[in-house]
Structure 1
Amino acid sequence: MFKIKVPATTANMGPGYDVLGMALTLYNEFEVEKINEGIETVGFGQIPLQENLVYTSMKKTLDFYGKKADGLKITAKKIDIPMSRGLGSSATCIVAGIMIANKLMNDMLREDDIIRIGTEMEGHPDNIVPAATGGMSVSIYEEDKVIHSKVNVPKNLRFAVMIPDFTVSTNEARKVVPEKYSKKDCIFNISRVAMLVSSMNSGEIEHLRMATEDRIHQPFRANLIPNIDDIFKASQDLGSKAEFISGSGSTLMAIIDEKNADFEPKMKKFLETLEGNWKIKVLAVDMEGAMFF
């Protein structure tokens, strides 16, 4: 028997559409044990086996290497990452499935193999890389290769995730994003991504508000998230350094200083005045990524 936990991730982080991602201290945990025969899944609700991402990711990985699995029980021991909220729940399951397959193949895959396979399944690396490696990353997916690099996040930063009870599907969120942009908007985003990475690495958190501005996806996806402007304004009034949509939403993110103890209780009270049954969690950066324990 073995257990694995995989962190939640936030992607895009404003201007870094499909490029930037970061692991957070919120986890899904899975347990794998031997049974006599067959494949059994427990704790995944009503999801059929053939639609279970942990199982299908494991199976696809084993199939690729000519291996098979039988006599396994996969249990979702703790599912703290909500689905379709922009916190990388699908990447969590994909990475878990690949790592389970790797364990069954006596750890023959390297970290880069896990990332490559996961990216092929997910379609983009921004959630897969930090889910596997932890921390904040810049990732490029080109010609079936994933090139990724770590970004240093100042240790005093915390990330307030504000999660509603309504979902925004990735497909729906991608449909509202334009196919073409002006040169001016492209330059705008290039400058912000560069500034965001530089500001994180140097600890110049005073630049974060400008560095998380975006003209590629957030102005269009904002229409899918009621009260987003009010929430962002309230966050800023309470001392947030910057705000952005987490992934494709519906979760919203505020970057705060660890000493800002008033932010969580005051924002909680504000969110309770809105429709959507919003919840708030203040998280740190997970630096380890997916791991067996």
Structure 2
Amino acid sequence: MVSLVGRKVSVKVPATSANLGPGFDTLGMALSFYDELEVEAVAGVGAFVEVHGEGEGEVPTDASNLVVQSIAYTFKKFGQELPGLRLTAHNIIPHGRGMGSSGAAVVSGIVAAKGLLEGIVEMTDKDLLDIATELEGHPDNVAPALFGGLTIAWEDESGPHHKKLFVHRGVSPLELVPNHKMSTALARSLQPESVPHNDAVFNVSRSALLIAALTQSPELMLAATEDRLHQDYRAAAMPETDSLVQLMREHGHAAVVSGAGPSVLVLASDPAERLEAAKLAAKHYPEWKALMLAVDFKGATVVLHQ
């Protein structure tokens, strides 16, 4: 068996925003806001983890760390022996804010494992998505984190799949981030088991329209981001988020809850509109951080340093 000791990889993974309004558990978008990771295979066993930035002093720094678990899971999946690991994580994606931090951690680990095993194991895009979905539970965040752009994710008897689309160059994302967190599990628990037929039809129409708005016709974004499947049910748990979404939409800005929240994503149709939205947010919600981002088209990247 080839010794991996001394192999080192650098990994970069984008933040993501899932749902995008009506595309519940289906649509996701990669954003130009990145966690970076260095992983070195060392002699012995176990993991030594340094975390800088988001999660520093909070997330585990041993084998129970989510990135380490994802590396170990991927090695096991391909029948490879796990070496000792030294990890240095530089995190800027906020935790518990609806920007895909756990998906990014999972993807970081899988892509790091792919890099460490380069030339030994070949991993397809389908392999990566399968493993990421097994670890994360659903593919809507991990697909854009892996592949970039706007992704449509779905599952069938052969597992998860994705289709990557390129976003219209006018689309200008604005992420508004509060300093409080939201539990994804809590947000999901507020969902009803079934919804009215009219609401289901409403969301099907808006999801289809949203694909057109994001890829061809950004001027349709406000109508395309309407939702009746999940945001209203979760509003009581995130009153400030709900109020900010309503404020933005009343002023003509296509605002949605980012992922499970509590961050708000505004999908402006051009940079000038985004600036207006940012000024409106600063006036009424000065304690929220405004991130003017681009759509990331690359997804996760890994470089092997021999």
Instruction: State TM-score, norm by structure 2.
Output: 0.88
Unaligned regions of 5+ residues in structure 2, if any? 1-7
**2:114 counterpart (84, 98, 102):** 102
Alignment of 1:183-222 (within 5 A): 183-202=197-216, 204-222=217-235
Change (3 A) 1:69 1:87: same
Contact 1:95 1:132 in 2 (8 A): yes
Shift in Å, 1:226: 2.4
Aligned to 2:5: none
8 Å Cα contact 2:9/2:112 also seen in 1: no
Q: Residue 153 of structure 1 corresponds to which residue in structure 2?
A: 167
Aligned residue among 217, 221, 245 for 2:257: 245
Moved more, 249-258 or 40-49: 40-49
SS in 2 for 1:259: helix
| Offset, 1:207 | 1.7
The CA distance in 2 between the partners of 1:120 and 1:10, in whole Å, is 19
Corresponding residue of 2:85: 72
Contact 1:36 1:71 in 2 (8 A): yes
Whole-Å separation in 1 of the counterparts to 2:129 and 2:289: 31
The CA distance in 2 between the partners of 1:229 and 1:115, in whole Å, is 32
Aligned 1:105-116 pairs, distance under 5 A: 105-106=117-118, 108-116=122-130
Q: Quote the sequence identity (%).
A: 36
1:31-110 paired onto structure 2 within 5 Å: 31-38=38-45, 39-43=47-51, 44-48=56-60, 49-76=62-89, 78-106=90-118, 108-110=122-124
Provide the aligned length of Structure 1 versus Structure 2. 286
State which drifts further: 148-157 or 261-270. Answer: 261-270
1:2 alignment partner in structure 2? 9
Shift of 1:34: 3.7
Q: 1-side partners of 2:202 and 2:141: how far apart?
A: 23
Residue by residue over 1:218-271, the C-alpha shift from the partner in whole angstroms, topping out at 9 and shown as x without a partner, is 00112121223432344346652x110011101111112213334434422321
Do the aligned residues in 1 keep the contact of 2:245 with 2:257 (CA within 8 Å)?
no
Paired letter, 1:31: E
**Pick aligned residue for 2:187 from 173, 176, 179:** 173
- Verify the 8 A CA contact 1:239 1:263 in the aligned structure 2: no
Q: TM-score, normalised to structure 1's length? A: 0.92
Conserved? CA contact 2:139–2:154, under 8 Å: yes
Say whether 1:23 aligns with 2:33: no
Q: 1:127 aligns with which of 141, 152, 155?
A: 141
CA distance in 1, matches of 2:158, 2:37: 28
RMSD: 1.7
**Can you list the C-alpha shifts for 1:117-169, whole angstroms capped at 9, x where unaligned?**
10111111111110000000111012242221123311111111111111111
2:269 equivalent to 1:259: no
Counterpart of 1:103, as a letter, is: G
Provide closer, same or farther for how the CA distance between residues 229 and 120 of structure 1 changes in structure 2, counting only shifts above 3 A: closer
- Asked if structure 2 preserves the Cα contact closer than 8 Å seen for 1:7 and 1:25, the reply is yes
| 2:283 corresponding residue in structure 1 | 269
Matched residues in 2 for 1:2 and 1:65: separation? 18
Q: Is the 8 A contact 1:151 1:200 kept in 2?
A: no
* Structure 1: runs of 5+ lacking an equivalent: none
Residue 290 of structure 1 pairs with residue 300 of structure 2 = yes
In 2, Cα distance between equivalents of 1:182 and 1:233: 22
Q: Is the 8 A contact 1:13 1:247 kept in 2?
A: yes
